[in-house]
Amino acid sequence: MKKMVSVVMTAMLIAIPVTPAFAQTSPTTVKERAQVLASKLLSVTGASGVQYAIMDKGSIVLSDNAGVKDKASKAPITKDTMFGIGSISKMHVSAAAMILADAYEIDIDEPLTTYIEDFKMADKRYKKITPRMLMNHSSGLYGTHLPNSSLFDDNDTIAHDELLNKLQSEHLKANPGEFSVYCNDGFDLLEIMIERVSGMSYTEFLAKYVSKPLNLSSTKTPLDQFDRERLAKTYFPTMDQALPIENSNTLGSGGLYSTAEDLTKFAEILMGNRTDVLSKQSAKAMQSPEYKRGIWVSEKTNAFNYGLGWDTVSLPEFDDYGITALSKGGDLVTYHGSLITIPKHNISMAVLSSGGASVFTTTFATKVLLEYLKDQGHIKEILPEKTFKPALKVNMPSELLSYAGLYVTRDSTINIEIKDGEIDLPAQYGLIPAQTYVYTGDGQFKSKDGSATVSFDKQTNGKTYVKLKAYTNNQGLGQSMMVLYAYQKLDSNPLQPTTKKVWENRNGKSYYRVDEKITSTFYLATPMLSKTISVDMDHGYANGTKIVNENQAVNVVQIPITIGRDVFDLNFYKEGQTEYLKIDGFSYINEDAIQPIDEGKDSTFSIPSNGQVRWYKIDEKSANRVMNVKTPVSGGFAVYDKNGMSVNLSKVTNNHSVVLPEGGMIVFGGKAGDVFKIELKNK
């Protein structure tokens, strides 16, 4: 859905040395070679199961799986096992929009307000946003309204229903069409547009105009009626049992379920092979290099090259063979997947997994597709992965010192120093480790092993960016490359003493979301529900936003491609003596206002009339005691250890008795007026 890699994946995304994918065996068929690689995919990512399929000229030529559908029963995955497909869903809503364009119901270059009359924002530039800009990520919208979008066994459409209202008070980060940067909200607006124009729900539209003619019997939304037992089980490291079904209720940006075979059938319209559903002209338009319409890196080869819906309209790993491959990845908290199509040969491949990440499923799909292309005679041989010479440091021109200074990326600022021709940068994109880059000539700084290159790029918008070009080994599954802007240069923003003092008091404080439904998947870990304030006192920024007064800081990030996604403003306010933080219309409570859980034997409390959840700390008086909770049917609670990982989430475990960990936290949620009765006793 949202390229949403869960917090437990972070450590796994650091590149390690490549090992040959098929080194230990000599399988003879593509099917056998894919099985070897699938087993490796499971072992290095921790995924419980993976399903994949290849379609060639309208026929399924490979359909297989590895791992299990259910760890407890060890039930196998079959071709009919369904998975959440995350952001691959963007291809469906983009295709649906183009179906309306084929029928002359919309013009993708007309203002969106033509079709959604009540779409309004606080920034007048919103009137220039078009459906095309929603599909190519160039709308200028901040990014993603994540709260209440991903729920366990709950298909509440609140995220969809409240989006237009939330946007009314928000601004844009750039002029519409100025540059593309990954944006989920745009595809949820497409969903609303389709509903307004067609007069039916998006679920109904998809079923009638896409699934039925293509015979996609396994492609559903959370609002569809289907056998939920067909869904692959999902897991979380701190939970022994399978998780409830994850419903992504932002259908346009990431809410569909499907199978690998269904996705390859759907890909037929994306390649222009089913003109009864989507015209060849529209399919071709979706494949166009839309990213070139705005500010972008100069490199032609890149893992990020947006089309209409597509992440990449020319996947780098196929470029060396003269083959154009298009790719779309998807990530939910628990499900992940990738779709690759090769229009020239009418070949598509889909990979879906429970656990892992789309970067790995894409690498897997690339490897298997190359094996298949070789087997079919489309390529003569599989080229070896690129190798690099160790960086050779040379004298750096003094004028490059002018690039040193303050830079911003999403959620943080950094002071980049250039000393003796060297630059130190932190880890990047979860795949590239923190390391030193040395000057090697031609304005470039390289990593010690030569696989990553840093340079500075002043763009037509007057902004200076740090550009990163890197090859990664993806846990030994295979090599991939990316070019992106990692940082944007800033000017200092000196603060008045009174303003500075207020922000100093907030520095390091954590704020916890209070209006997230207790069924949310984000309750698996507190980092998905909190914002820790980090203030750059010397320069006047907080979490990458520019401080403008004592209670407000505004976004300044205008970084194309992907690093500049999901930006935000910080707005602080008080209710009585309690300070709250508001981001994207959602409220967070200051940690200082969170009280310890009552250490007495018995206590009772209720959810307030505004429906906000109640957070509590676990202090030394309650730690290591047993908490028993009598919970209303609509209510639930989560208990976290000192690292923010859930040790019990009642909506998952149905366990209402738990030993409270030292230094942890508890959150209770439900409907307004729900009463919780708590008993604390010694072990």
Residues facing residue 680 across a β-bridge: 627
8 Å CB contact between 90 and 254: yes
Helix (H, G, I), strand (E, B) or coil at 215: coil
Alpha carbons 606 and 672: distance in angstroms, whole number: 8
Encoded tokens for 117: 């009359």
Alpha carbons 40 and 34: distance in angstroms, whole number: 10
Alpha carbons 25 and 10: distance in angstroms, whole number: 30
Tell me, what's the pLDDT at 27? 76
8 Å CB contact between 268 and 94: no
Helix (H, G, I), strand (E, B) or coil at 646: strand
Tell me, what's the pLDDT at 12? 31
Encoded tokens for 680: 């604390």
pLDDT under 50: residue ranges of the chain: 2-25
Alpha carbons 139 and 120: distance in angstroms, whole number: 14
CA 563 to mean position of chain CA atoms: 11
Among all chains, which residue has been given the structure tokens 């500010």? 295
Alpha carbons 259 and 217: distance in angstroms, whole number: 9
- End-to-end CA, the chain: 42
8 Å CB contact between 489 and 465: yes
Among all chains, which residue has been given the structure tokens 């409907």? 671
Q: Containing H/E element for 630?
A: strand 626-630
Backbone angles phi, psi at 54, to 5 degrees: -120, 135
Tell me, what's the pLDDT at 504? 97
Alpha carbons 588 and 528: distance in angstroms, whole number: 12
Encoded tokens for 597: 């859980």
Other Cβ atoms less than 10 A from the Cβ of 658: the count is 20
Residues in the chain: 683
Tell me, what's the pLDDT at 16? 29
CA 223 to mean position of chain CA atoms: 22
Among all chains, which residue has been given the structure tokens 């080994």? 473
Pairing of strands 646-649, 636-640: antiparallel
Strand 452-458's sheet: what is its strand order?
Answer: 412-416, 405-409, 480-489, 464-472, 452-458, 444-447, 435-441, 422-425
- pTM attached to this predicted model: 0.95
Tell me, what's the pLDDT at 13? 32
Among all chains, which residue has been given the structure tokens 């992965």? 385
Tell me, what's the pLDDT at 26? 61
Helix (H, G, I), strand (E, B) or coil at 622: coil
Query: Which string of DSSP letters, residue by residue, matches 329-385?
Result: EEE-SSEEEEEEEEGGGTEEEEEEEESS-HHHHHHHHHHHHHHHHHHTTSSS-PPPP
